[in-house]
Every structure is written in C-alpha cells, then in structure tokens.
Structure 1
Amino acid sequence: MSSSEEAELSYEAARAELVEVVAALESGGTTLEESLALWERGERLATICQTWLDGARERLDLVIAGDAASEDAPDAD
C-alpha cells in the first residue's frame, strides 16, 4: 500500500487492520521477516490512527473554545 493510500485510510479502516496485524503477531507461526513486516505495518497503522485522533481532539477543542467565547460575549440586545 502506498503512502497516499495509507493517508486516505479512515480511522475505522486503519484500526480494523491494526487489530488484524496484532492478532497475526500474537498468534505466531510467522517467519522473522513476516513478523518484522507486520510490526512495521502495525506501526504505520498506529500512526494513522493517532493522527486521526489528534485531528479529532483539535476539532473538539476548537468547538469548545468557540462555544466558550460565544458564552462570554456580551449580548447584542
């Protein structure tokens, strides 16, 4: 998967694939090379998930800050 395709993954898709990667690593039965590839993929997926979560937090913070600012503003009446 290319980096542009990874960037287009939704949070839910990245998380679902990460769950699969973790399950594959935990089940064993893979070669060292396969395990390393799975680990690297898991790291990339975890980064994608964290980026989505960070973005969601920023959006929430902006909404909360906007709500607080509108509550503090004097009424125009």
Structure 2
Amino acid sequence: MAETPVESMTFEDAIRELEQVVGKLERGDVALDDSIALYERGAALKKRCETKLSEAEEKVARITTGPDGQAAGTAPLDP
C-alpha cells in the first residue's frame, strides 16, 4: 500500500497516522532503517498538523461577533 502524501492529508488523517508512528517507535521493535523512515514520516506529519492548526486558528481569529456576542461574519485576512 502506498503512503498518502502528507501534503494532501487532513488534520484528522495526519494526527491518526502520527499516533500510529509514535506507537511503533515507542514499542522499539522496528529495525533501525525503518525507525529512521518512521521518524522522518512522523516529523512531516507533525509539521502538517501544525500547519493545519495554524490555518484553523487564523480562520477562527478572523470571525467577528456582533453586539449580542453571536458570530456576525468574518474579517478579511491581513496580507
């Protein structure tokens, strides 16, 4: 089975695979070369999760509220 490119993964898919990678590395029963490949994949997955979280935080930060405290729309993203 081919690995899904990290760049196209959703946050949920990336975090799920990252948890699997960490589990395999923690067990310690993986050959050294495989451990290195898992670590590299895990680092890419971590970066993807951080990117997706940052994107979500920016979107949430841009939500504006009306006088009643309800969401009233969004403000444009600053360039």
TM norm structure 2:
0.74
Q: Which has more helix, going by share of residues?
A: 1
Q: Which has more strand, going by share of residues?
A: 2
Give the equivalent residue in structure 1 for 2:73.
none
Q: Determine which structure has greater relative contact order: mean sequence separation of CA pairs < 8 Å that are 6+ residues apart, divided by chain length.
A: 1
RMSD: 1.4
- Structure 1 stretches of at least 4 aligned residues deviating more than 2 Å after TM superposition: none
Distance (Å, rounded) in 2 between the aligned partners of 1:37 and 1:8 = 19
Aligned amino acid, residue 13 of structure 2: A
Distance (Å, rounded) in 1 between the aligned partners of 2:36 and 2:6 = 19
Aligned amino acid, residue 34 of structure 2: E
Give the equivalent residue in structure 1 for 2:60.
60
Pairs aligned (count): 65
Give the equivalent residue in structure 2 for 1:33.
33
- How far 1:7 sits from its partner (Å)? 1.6
Which stretches in structure 1 are left out of the alignment for 5+ residues? 72-77
> Considering only CA atoms, is the larger Rg found in Structure 1 or Structure 2?
1
TM norm structure 1:
0.76
